[in-house]
């Protein structure tokens, strides 16, 4: 069983000259969003969403980031 549940993925083609992939997922009952550069899946940012509608920069364990990166790679 995975430590997260992937909900959605958006691929931004040709956005501002770069292509990005954003994946939304749940981990430990919190909602996160992670954005990668599409070309090499380098992390651009990670956000955690608060119950009041705000978001904050987030940090995740490397094993979760790598697992999400693998899932994204398979889908693109």
How many domains is the chain partitioned into structurally? 1
Q: Which range marks the domain in which residue 17 is found?
A: 5-68
pLDDT digits (tens, 9 = 90+) for 29-67: 999 999 999 999 999 999 999 989 899 999 999 999 999
C-alpha–C-alpha distance, residues 49 and 56, integer Å:
7
Domain assignment present for 50 = yes
CA–CA separation, 66 vs 60, rounded Å? 10
User: Is 32 part of a structural domain of the chain?
Assistant: yes
pLDDT band at residue 18 under the 50/70/90 scheme:
confident
Predicted local confidence at residue 2, as pLDDT:
81
């Amino acid at each position: 069983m995975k430590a997260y549940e992937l909900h959605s993925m958006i691929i931004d083609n040709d956005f501002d000259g770069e292509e990005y992939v954003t994946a939304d997922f749940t981990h430990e009952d919190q909602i996160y969003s992670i954005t990668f550069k599409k070309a090499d899946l380098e992390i651009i940012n990670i956000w955690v969403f608060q119950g009041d509608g705000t978001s904050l920069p987030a940090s995740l364990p490397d094993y979760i980031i790598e697992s999400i990166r693998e899932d994204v790679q398979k889908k693109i």
